[in-house]
Each structure stands twice: as C-alpha cells, then as structure tokens.
Structure 1
Amino acid sequence: MSITTRAAVLRHSTDRQPFAESRPLAIEELALQGPGPGEVLLRIVAAGLCHSDLSVVNGDRPRPLPMVLGHEAAGIVEELGPGVIDVSVGDRVVCSYVPSCGHCADCAGGHPVRCAEAQAANREARLVTGRRPFNNASGAELHHHLGVSAFSEFTVVSPLSLVPVPDDVPLETAAVFGCAVLTGAGAVLNTAVVRPGEAVAVVGLGGVGISAVMAAALAGAHPVIAVDTVESKLESAKAVGATHGVLAGDEAVEQIRELTRGGVAVAIEAAGHPTALSTAYAATRVGGRVVITGLPHPRHEIGVPIASLVAEEKSILGSYMGSSVPRRDLPRLFDLYAAGLLPADALVTSRSVPLDDINAALDRLHSGAEVRQIITP
C-alpha cells in the first residue's frame, strides 16, 4: 500500500543561480510505498538545509538522479514494517544519514560510520533493505538520499537510521543534531579528542563549524579561534564559545600564530575547500592535529609539504560524521543541550521554511546569509 506525499525532487544538477529562478528542486506529488520488512514510515517534522544538499544540487557531490533530497531531519514514527522492534509508533526521532548493519567488523568495532553495507546503500542511493520506495506519477523509482530523503512530508527509512529524541528537545532543533552537531562536535570530541587548555582553530563556520566551536569550548580548549570569510559569522561563533574571530585571507595564518604563540594544537577544517585546508594546516603548531570534516568535489586533492608533515610531526585526520556512534553520542549531546552546555539553537537561523520556498533557501545558504534553515514539509 502506498501514500501520496509532496517532496522536493532534484532531476538535474545545476549551478545556475539564483536558484529561486533556475528552480533545480521541483515540488512534486509522489507515491511512497509503505514500509517493508525492516523499514519505518516517518512523518518529517523538521529538515535542516545543509551544504551537503547544496553540493548535490550544484554537482560538487555527484549523486544518482532523480533524487528526493534531504538528509538532516527529525520526525514522528507513523508505521512499522514487519520485524521492526527498535522503535514504536509515535516515537520522536532524529535521523542519522549513515545507518549501520550492526554486525560487520567496523560496526562491531565501534565505527558504524565506516559500515561498508551502509556506505554501499548510500552510494547507490537506496535504503539498506535495497528498496527505493518513492515513485513518480508514471511509476518510475526515484533515488533515496543518504537513507533519509527528508525534503518530503513522509519518507521511509531504516530503523537503524533512527535515534530517539527526548521530550524536552524541540524537533526543529533536534534535526540539526543528526548532521551538523554530530559532525562538528564529533570532530572535536571523538576524532581530535581535544584536551582542556589546547588551542583550537575552526576554519569554516557553517553548521558543522559552529558546532565544532561549541564543542571546543565545552572541552575546555583555549583559545578557540573561529575563521571564516563572512565577518558576521565570526560574531556568531563568539556568541557560542569562540574567544577570537579571524577573517579568512592572506593574513589569517599569521594572526592565528600570533594569538597562540606558534600555532594551534588542533585545527578543524569545516569548509570543504582546499584553501580552508591550507589555512588549517599552516595554522597548526608542531605536533598538532588537522581534522578534515568538509567534503569537497571528488577532484580536489590534498597538497601539503611532505617534509613539513614529517619534520613537524603533524597529523591529518579524516572525520566522517564526527567519527560518531550515533546511538551512543546523540543521547549525550541531547543531555548537554538540555543542561544548557551545548547551545545548538544558535545554529538555526530560520525556522518553519515552507517546502515551496526551498530554492530561495538554497540561495540564502550559498550566500552565507544563513547557517541552518529548517524546512517544514
């Protein structure tokens, strides 16, 4: 049995702007097949618009098309497929965009974001069950985005993608925990394992970067230096824990080195751009750690001086989804939010954006005017 749902469909990638005029995302009525074995029907309450979505729209991150976009979301469980025992109808949940099989070596070893089965499903734009439950008017399948496809009134997901949300956390805020907070905070707390008193720089102040700033302050880092090309974002970062703001440019590295007497112990690259990585690497002291969270176009490669890497004993660490274990880390992060120690509401710069306005929202995201806009299907 299927239901009808309105959804944002990307049929062709384009970087032609403004997106409000080129309208790469079409709002369509689709048929959504009900949940099969090991699947859940989810009513989307809130979906964050992330740079990873923009990267699919403009072609920086090629994906199979046509696709129902959106991967950062929270909602209500509406129906269970056969065999589902992890969640119940009525549960408030947040989505993780990397499900896990639970039994491979990486999952069993505490690294579910490396799950080969889940990564294959995401790469092939299907659920881990193998299905693509969205169909257009002619009955053709549409691709699923990172196991979520959140820019839709309803979607079908694996329960392995879901984590319960406490009653005291608003779903419009909980949505950003599934990507921005988990990735940024995880890069600081899990990948870099920042220690109290270590100097930290965060390069790129989108949702992931601001989350990294919050986590660095929470971890007791000092100073916490925020770096971006947009001056207003430096002030936003200071409001959530950054001690200094540095405008990205030719003098940024020198300023960071002066502030820290030689460079930071940890630099978080959160912009997904080679220039940001160069800044992060150059601003790191001898023996420091550079953590890369941004996902640029696949053609981009790392260019670092090998002699410096060896002689200065620097480390370059990749951090996918903050090296997180969602079912372990998200409850902890929700508790920190409820205690007032992780001000994630600061990420949400626009709430209740209608699905019909999503192309204009892409323009605002691209311009740097917004950190996280919450789409309300």
Structure 2
Amino acid sequence: MKAAFLEAAGQPLVIGEARLDDPGPREVRIRTVACGLCHSDLHFIEGTYPHPMPCIPGHEAAGIVEAVGSEVRTVKPGDAVVTCLSAFCGHCEFCVTGRMALCQGGDTRRPKGAPPRITRDDGTPVAQMLNLSAFAEEMLVHEHACVRIDPDMPLDKAAVIGCAVTTGAGTIFNVAKLTPGETVAVIGCGGVGLATVNAAKIAGAGRIIAADPVPEKRALAEKLGATDTIDPLADDAAKQIVELTKGGVDHAIEAVGRPASGVLAVKALRRGGTATILGMMPLDHQVGLGAMDLLSGKKLQGAFMGANRFPVDIPRLVDFYLRGLLDLDSIVAETIPLEQVNEGFEKMKTGEAARSVMVFN
C-alpha cells in the first residue's frame, strides 16, 4: 500500500510502500477513504513533540472495514467507520470511571515481541503514530480505535469528526458542559476552533466570540455561529472581549496552542469563569492563574480530545451533520490526494485555510 512516511523531524514526508500484518484477534483492517491534515501531525513532523521514526503520521480518518480479527464484535467488513486516536482498553481506572479519553491504551497496542503492525517491503518495522497511522491507503487498528457510523455519512466529512470535531464539540458538551445562555470565547479558528464555535451554537450559547488573526477565518467563524469576532493580536483583545460581554466570558477555549492565546483565555474570563486549553502548547510552557484570578473564582483546565466517549459521541456528531446542525462542509476547505500531503502542510503553516482533507481512490 502507498503511505506517507516521516523519516526524520523537520523533513518533508516521503511517499513509499508499506505492508500491514494480518489482523490479530481484536484488530481491524480498514481501507482509508479520507484523512484530515491536523496541526497535531505538524507538531510531530517539525519535531516539537518527539516520536519514534520512521513512522506514518495521520490520525483523523474515516474508511471502510476490510477485515476483522476473530474476537472483534463491534464492527464487521463493509462497515463505514471513523477512527479515533484515543483508543481505550475498557477496563482501567479511567475507562471504568467514564474518562475513556484518558486511557493510556496499553492493551490496544501489540505487546513487545509481537510482529509490528506496519513494516516496509523489506520487513523493517514502521512506528504507528497515535494508534492509527492514517496517511496510508489502509490502517490496522485495535477495534477500540474505531466506531461504526451511518453509511449515509460522506466519509470526507466524517474524517474530521475523528479529531477536530470530537475535540472542539466534546469540549463544549463534555468538558465545559455549557448551559444555554452562557458566553464563550474561542481563541483560534482552525478546524478545532471552528468546531468549538459550531458546537457552542448548537448548545445554545448566548454570545460566541471568535478570535483569529486571519480575516477569512473570522468570517468563517461567523458563518458557523460566532456572534462577534476579534483579532487576538490586537493590544486590547482581552479588553474587547470583556466589554462585549459586560464583564468577561463564562468559558474561554484556547484552540491553537500558542502561549499568548492561553494568557488571553484567562484574561477574557468573568468572575467564576473557566479557561480550557485544547492546543498543544510547547512542552516547556506553563499556563497559570494569578492571585486575583484565584480570588475571583476563575478556573483553568486542560482537556484531551474533548474528554470524548467516542463510541457514543462520534455517531451523535454524525447525526448532527445529517440533520443539518453540524456544518462540516464549511470546516473542510479542500480535498487533496496523498501526493500533495506536503503542500497541504505548507498551506497549514500560513494559517489561511480551515481544514485540508486527504482523499484516497
């Protein structure tokens, strides 16, 4: 099968051939139909976050089940599925207390000494990134890394549900638990931020302020439900949010991974408000609250993948799209072939596009 390999950090991806092993008892082989280009992949490609190499990136995908292992019960050949990087074991402390996204998934990976899931043609092992490695014509994953969806769902749109939409919408529904009428500021209007804006509208937020330095993304945020937009690079960005909401927002969602955006999220809060950090900050960076923030009852939290329960959440998000509530058509800016993956990431670096989705024949 064709795949895009990351051979070394800071280098372009290389298109080459790879092989998948046969599915183990609880594994699923999936024909990849579409995969979104996520900024998280770029962190690994640029070396900001470490990962064993060579590897195949890609973690925001949808496809069709080709084969299943002997013990798989959740999907069958022919099913349309969305994959999710937060593979869960189902029996650890986090899983049994309903925090499946925090499961470290040790049982969902092959044990030491077992044949690798992915190899080159010569048998050299290839590291699987984030349980998936979706920049390839096929994937071999644990059954708890995918979920069956409605076959009427277009898979190029379904792919972005696997990360961007699950993260953004999950933050509104599962983490913030937004009450209708509350105010929200979303800082960063890439795929995750736009999904957050759209979910805040679905949840009935009273005012939704979207902050992004790119005018086109601010316009897109308005299309998806933002009531107001600002440029977060403006010197008075926090003041603008406070004035628009007469005291600050109930929820500030940082969705880009910039230290300055984390600071803005905290400054935009009203008394008792909560800032949630979604973006992948530099590994040595710390986000904090000042003494007056604490005395004002402000709260700061992180959220991984929208605290999802993806076997339940992803089909619901698919239903939202099919019912016309979730606007994925606006979030997906373009579709590209595998061979244009490097161009897609270069475009991402400019910050001008929402989401590029790779499609496979």
For 2:217, what is the secondary structure of its paired residue? Answer: helix
Pairwise CA distance, 1:150: 0.4
Distance 2:292 2:191 in 1: 31
Instruction: Name 1:199's counterpart in structure 2.
Output: 183
Instruction: Name 1:105's counterpart in structure 2.
Output: 93
Distance 1:166 1:31 in 2: 29
Distance 1:264 1:45 in 2: 40
Distance 2:293 2:236 in 1: 22
Instruction: Name 2:339's counterpart in structure 1.
Output: 356
Counterpart of 1:209 in structure 2: which amino acid? Answer: G
Instruction: Name 1:246's counterpart in structure 2.
Output: 230
Instruction: Name 1:70's counterpart in structure 2.
Output: 58
Instruction: Name 1:373's counterpart in structure 2.
Output: 356
For 2:67, what is the secondary structure of its paired residue? Answer: strand
2:49 to 61, 86, 90: 61
Does structure 1 retain, via aligned residues, the 8 Å contact 2:3–2:17?
yes
1:255 matched to 2:240? The reply is yes
Instruction: Give the % identical residues.
Output: 41
For 2:66, what is the secondary structure of its paired residue? Answer: strand
Aligned alpha-carbon RMSD (Å) = 1.3
Q: How does 1:1-377 map to 2 (within 5 A)?
A: 5-14=1-10, 24-116=12-104, 118=105, 120=106, 128-130=109-111, 132-249=116-233, 250-305=235-290, 307-351=291-335, 353-377=336-360
For 1:286, what is the secondary structure of its paired residue? Answer: strand
Does structure 1 retain, via aligned residues, the 8 Å contact 2:186–2:196?
yes
Distance 2:116 2:48 in 1: 23
Pairwise CA distance, 1:165: 1.6
Q: Which runs of 5+ in 2 are unaligned?
A: none
Does structure 1 retain, via aligned residues, the 8 Å contact 2:79–2:151?
no
Distance 1:132 1:201 in 2: 44
Distance 2:19 2:133 in 1: 14
Pairwise CA distance, 1:168: 2.2
Distance 1:70 1:141 in 2: 17
Does structure 2 retain, via aligned residues, the 8 Å contact 1:61–1:296?
no
Distance 1:334 1:103 in 2: 27
Does structure 1 retain, via aligned residues, the 8 Å contact 2:288–2:300?
no
Counterpart of 1:376 in structure 2: which amino acid? Answer: V
Pairwise CA distance, 1:303: 3.8
| 4+ long deviations beyond 2 Å | 129-132
For 1:308, what is the secondary structure of its paired residue? Answer: helix
Counterpart of 1:345 in structure 2: which amino acid? Answer: D
Counterpart of 1:295 in structure 2: which amino acid? Answer: M
Q: Deviations over 1:187-243 (max 9, x none)?
A: 111101111111100001111100000011111112100001111100000001000
Q: Deviations over 1:72-113 (max 9, x none)?
A: 000000011221121100000000111110111211111111
Pairwise CA distance, 1:184: 0.1
Paired positions, count:
356
For 1:146, what is the secondary structure of its paired residue? Answer: helix
Q: Deviations over 1:102-138 (max 9, x none)?
A: 111211111111113x1x57xxxxx523363111233
Distance 1:319 1:153 in 2: 31
Does structure 1 retain, via aligned residues, the 8 Å contact 2:2–2:15?
yes
Pairwise CA distance, 1:30: 1.4
Pairwise CA distance, 1:348: 0.3
Q: Deviations over 1:276-301 (max 9, x none)?
A: 00011000111001011111221111
Distance 1:105 1:257 in 2: 40
For 1:167, what is the secondary structure of its paired residue? Answer: coil
Does structure 1 retain, via aligned residues, the 8 Å contact 2:74–2:147?
no
Distance 1:330 1:81 in 2: 23
Pairwise CA distance, 1:48: 0.3
Q: TM-score, normalised by structure 1?
A: 0.92
Does structure 2 retain, via aligned residues, the 8 Å contact 1:60–1:296?
no
Distance 1:62 1:231 in 2: 33
Distance 1:62 1:346 in 2: 32
Pairwise CA distance, 1:304: 3.2
For 2:210, what is the secondary structure of its paired residue? Answer: strand
Distance 1:243 1:338 in 2: 24
Distance 1:136 1:92 in 2: 27
Distance 2:48 2:135 in 1: 20
Q: TM-score, normalised by structure 2?
A: 0.96
Distance 1:31 1:375 in 2: 20
Q: Which runs of 5+ in 1 are unaligned?
A: 15-22, 122-126
